[in-house]
Structure 1
């Protein structure tokens, strides 16, 4: 998406215009208007929180306020809040990343309030500073910010639907496959402000391209941009010679239009990458370590703390399970199975033994099925309620596993007549993190036997989704959802 705001006049005669009778606003913005709207909304929230806090304080306490001190604190809070928000690039957002903010503004407001209070104390003004007023102001500001976010999203969505926010995109390069892929990827973003005007090409090899109009070469494209009918040009020609690229860019440089190049790799590999800057060099990250820096310590701390608590509380249940196994069938209580873990290394995973000792399968060459004769009567109950997995809490404490993550698979696990890693493309990517006792796939209905390649692929997709989306909140959500899955999932046996 373009980085600079553009304001242009609507034109019902433009190429690829909407149907007659669809009246569009005369003033049209690109999606870069989103940032200024958020800035204006934050200013309003900062302003209206002042009278709300003062009236509330007067009603609740009724003590006079030292205005000079509080004006100083307010100025510091506003400056700190806006600087923090700007450092997060919150006011340079577009409709593409509209939904990415999840409470950041509330955190920033709290930090700004603490900074303001710290400066008041540092300057020796604390005696005339009302903590009640400051707390009421912060509370008012948090409420206003929390209410403003959904309202802004509704407002911006309506602007986009009405055409007041509209991004008119033209493609350069009449390559059907590339254009179709780019349109599919952009459409998947569900952005109502995008509008595809047509395709330009000085050397077209086709006469028509689905519902897109062929609009000539880059000179014709420049004329459309001059009339305000094109906001952005996406160059999507495979194997484009550098000299031809320079000619196209030079031809479009005389008019006000965004020109963007989409490399062939971005189309071929989509959507399995993320774009980052290495200095000023754009790179496509195909794989990335999910737990780095502070996150790796947060994840390990979560496992050690919650795993330790779970081990203490579940110790009686584990003792009962161990006693039942010992009393009902000969053999060891624990089943220690080598499985694939973090960084594709083999780890020993602990489970309560649920099969007859002489019929256990270390390599998991045969998938456990419903009414499997190898499973003991007690084992069926333990497997159904996932009690057999509880010894893996020791794996968590040791650091071999995590509470939440992709489930570790046995070394010879198969899907049909193929090994799991051969049946599913990208399977090894799930080993970028420690395996878990439970995971996103397990709470999404893919617990237990995997009968088909399609279900195996879906499980790997969910494992990769978990890795890409990881957060403490997601882990807690999966843990709570696991409790429901244990009692209501029919695929576990």
Structure 2
């Protein structure tokens, strides 16, 4: 089909080309230059302003130790991996790493009881000039990277070998989302029947023979195979044939094209795997959240005890029935939990299943119920759910098992709904402080709430919890969606 291979002609590259991997090395060289320049400037500034004698050898050793600490921190955090010309701000993390390295170096000097031998003025000059150099150099470094990419010195010319123009366009869009300016897609190859040129977004390069010719003549640096249904023998033939040319060859797994949810590529030992879902808020994070939940819940019960007692009294005086309302709702791992609330409806009209939504001016709600629902006081008994371990202070709100959106159950109406149950439900949540509190009457509104819940799970931090709790208190004053 492809004919006999001819001897490869001379490569037509007009100059040496580098891949984006060279940027990592350039980033390290850039930081070394910053420290050398900062040290020289510190010596000059010290002589011009202070001028006292200092042990140059000792200070030089201290500066070297500081720099070694800095590079160890940067490399351990893979801090130079982000240097790919994507335009993101990489200065903040480098300054933070430098301050951490400075602190560690200071501790070493204190431990060796050598602080009295160091000039604080010289140290201040060196640290200040280093931070300024690290910050400014990154601005210049990004401009340099951009120019090198525009001139083709750094970057890769990429061709997509796909099973259709539609598949190639999808790969191109995925790469565009990743913001990788060092990759320049020159077109796609496809051996099948071609569609009309006006219906294609990428340039059509031809079939496999044309792709091979581009690779062998030095007009191509990388080929991405996007063939979800490719046979093993076909894949081996392509790999063996293209191996004769000095290019990069990679296979885009079918999952990257077909998975709708987010995923990460992890390694089990040396085996790459697609991590579609991971257990969230685990290990130390889980302990921190548990302490935060139960500690703050205990404090809240004590501080809010007068409100709790007054609410109990008001409910008892207004209508017959129990003070507390219990309802089965979905909890952690999709298990049912019994959620506590202050009773806000007449005992003969309340719905324990949750199938009937509460609406504005709902006749089932008592006068006291309207007040405590509007101010969310009816939710306060859930503090005891938190102390019991069934709930968290912050998390996706627990829904009644029979809750509906339109004519469908919540878990049928919204795809991926059960993903919100990977953590304990909360008294308040991110969706509630983003305006999705109260009645959820439409599928679109329900889907948006689930999106916020999943975002919270995947981006949890103690600060996020505290922020949501503060916003919850502020929202109670102006929220019009509670009734």
TM-score tier by shorter-chain length is 0.7 to 0.9
Answering whether residue 192 of structure 2 is matched by residue 183 of structure 1, we say no
CA distance in 2, matches of 1:133, 1:418: 71
Tell me: CA distance 1:237–1:40, structure 2 relative to 1, closer, same or farther (3 Å).
Answer: same
Unmatched runs of 5 consecutive residues or more in structure 1: 1-7, 12-25
Counterpart of 1:326 in structure 2 is: 316
CA distance in 2, matches of 1:425, 1:389: 28
CA distance in 1, matches of 2:308, 2:34: 54
Instruction: Show CA shifts across 1:85-108 (max 9, x none).
Output: 112222233549875969543443
What SS does structure 1 have at the residue aligned with 2:314? helix
What SS does structure 2 have at the residue aligned with 1:230? coil
Of 426-435 and 67-76, the range deviating more from structure 2 = 67-76
Checking the alignment, whether the CA contact within 8 Å between 1:174 and 1:206 is kept in structure 2 is no
Answering whether residue 259 of structure 2 is matched by residue 275 of structure 1, we say no
Corresponding pairs, count: 471
| Structure 1 residue 393: Cα displacement | 2.3
| Structure 1 residue 430: Cα displacement | 0.9
Answering whether residue 430 of structure 2 is matched by residue 440 of structure 1, we say yes
Instruction: Show CA shifts across 1:59-111 (max 9, x none).
Output: 99997544433322221121121012112222233549875969543443344
TM-score, normalized by length of structure 2?
0.84
What's the Cα RMSD here?
3.5
Tell me: CA distance 1:379–1:103, structure 2 relative to 1, closer, same or farther (3 Å).
Answer: farther
CA distance in 2, matches of 1:394, 1:150: 53
CA distance in 2, matches of 1:308, 1:32: 53
Query: For 2:194, which of 206, 221, 238 is the aligned residue?
Result: 206
What SS does structure 2 have at the residue aligned with 1:78? helix
1:219-234 map, 5 Å: 219-226=209-216, 228-234=218-224
What SS does structure 2 have at the residue aligned with 1:247? helix
| Structure 1 residue 380: Cα displacement | 2.0
What SS does structure 1 have at the residue aligned with 2:327? strand
Checking the alignment, whether the CA contact within 8 Å between 1:28 and 1:165 is kept in structure 2 is yes
| Structure 1 residue 162: Cα displacement | 8.6
CA distance in 2, matches of 1:316, 1:130: 60
Counterpart of 2:3 in structure 1 is: none
Q: Which has the larger radius of gyration?
A: 2
Query: For 2:357, which of 350, 367, 386 is the aligned residue?
Result: 367
Counterpart of 1:384 in structure 2 is: 374
CA distance in 1, matches of 2:272, 2:160: 21
What SS does structure 2 have at the residue aligned with 1:425? coil
Checking the alignment, whether the CA contact within 8 Å between 1:336 and 1:351 is kept in structure 2 is yes
1:142-181 map, 5 Å: 166-181=155-170
| Structure 1 residue 229: Cα displacement | 3.8
Unmatched runs of 5 consecutive residues or more in structure 2: 1-10
CA distance in 2, matches of 1:61, 1:373: 81
Counterpart of 1:72 in structure 2 is: 61
Counterpart of 2:248 in structure 1 is: 258
What SS does structure 1 have at the residue aligned with 2:454? helix
TM-score, normalized by length of structure 1?
0.82
CA distance in 1, matches of 2:399, 2:279: 21
